[in-house]
Chain A
Amino acid sequence: MTPIIEAVPEEIYDIELEHSLLEANAKLARQNRALLDEHDITAVDVMGAIGSGKTTLITKLASIYQGKLAVAVFNGDATTANDTDGIAALGVPVVQIATVNGCHLDANLVGKALKRVDLEALDFIIIENIGNLICPAEFPLGSRSRMVVVSVTEGPYMVKKHPHMFLGADLVVINKIDLAEVMGVKVEQLVRDVHTLKPDLRVIPASCKTGAGLDEIAAVLAPKKAAAHA
């Protein structure tokens, strides 16, 4: 029988640690940000559920920026690489980041991806996070802004069900509005839900099919120096 040794109270110690569990990632995110700033590069972290249309939206944005801004795309994916062909076809450098079934990108992976592109030649990096509306919120990557993409095909309660993601967002895109009527989803209600959480959060209804909202998103996300050219 295994002997059980009970500690007497004098031998039990309590120690205060105040050790942040997110600090390791936050520190790497700050390093990424410093590296980006040093090269005058703006980065945006694109978050949204699987099927919200992140990749298609990013492809459209990359094509709007073509000839105006030097763009690279980091594509987070749990396993595959088949998302990025359309973007690569535009001549945009793409770095695939496989999280090996991890549910969010982290600053360490993005830091590695930053070593794979020519920072001297870039103005703008679009980081596509893993399709997930919960996890990425706690893991900043070092981007200047965070965009959340929700689509009407996810139903009328997406914001009500996943409020956390919106609290940390700088821009919300309500995607696939061409399907709103078919889906019986009221875009204005989704906008109201977002504004209940954060009244000054910019919300842009969009459709990659009709092109609605795309120029506005491109203008909001683009680095300041590009806006000055326009």
Chain B
Amino acid sequence: MHELSIAATIVESVLEFVEARQIGRVLRVRLAIGELTCVQPEQLKFCYESVTQETALKDSALEIESIPARVRCSSCAYEGAPKYWMESLADTPVATLQCPVCGKSTEAEQGHECAIKTIQYVS
């Protein structure tokens, strides 16, 4: 359940922000979560709801924007969407680091994001 420690970090970060500006209530927190992280949005939302109780974030909405993976191949210079593994047993096809063009290993240049993008609040 790393979602719990991530949820706790969200609350900690937002509360720090809230206290510094004497904000009354947070309405919405928007996250960007990369496709290559193994953060489960549903679990994260559940954890968020639990850890925001009795804080200025209580009842705030957590919105999660999914950031698609992008890879770069140093062998054939391909840049773009990754090759997906359809036979995997995960819920959805899994992004791999195999180059869709030449089959060599690629480097991920996008998809590891795990960040707070914006906070909406009432003064």
Contacts and interface: CB of A to CB of B under 8 A. Distances in A.
A41 to B, nearest CB: 26
Contacts, number: 111
A17 B114 contact: no
B2 A103 contact: yes
Interface string A192-203: 000111111100
Nearest to A157: B89
B53 interface: no
Chain A interface SS verdict (over half): mixed
Chain B interface SS verdict (over half): mixed
A50 B87 CA distance: 25
Given A197-B85, A198-B96, A200-B104, A103 B118 contact: no
Interface size class of A (residues with CB under 8 A): 35 or more
A17 B119 contact: yes
Contacts of A197: 85, 94, 96-98
B17 interface: yes
Contacts of A164: 36-38, 94
11 contacts: A14-B119, A15-B121, A17-B116, A20-B114, A24-B9, A134-B2, A137-B37, A138-B37, A139-B2, A167-B97, A200-B105
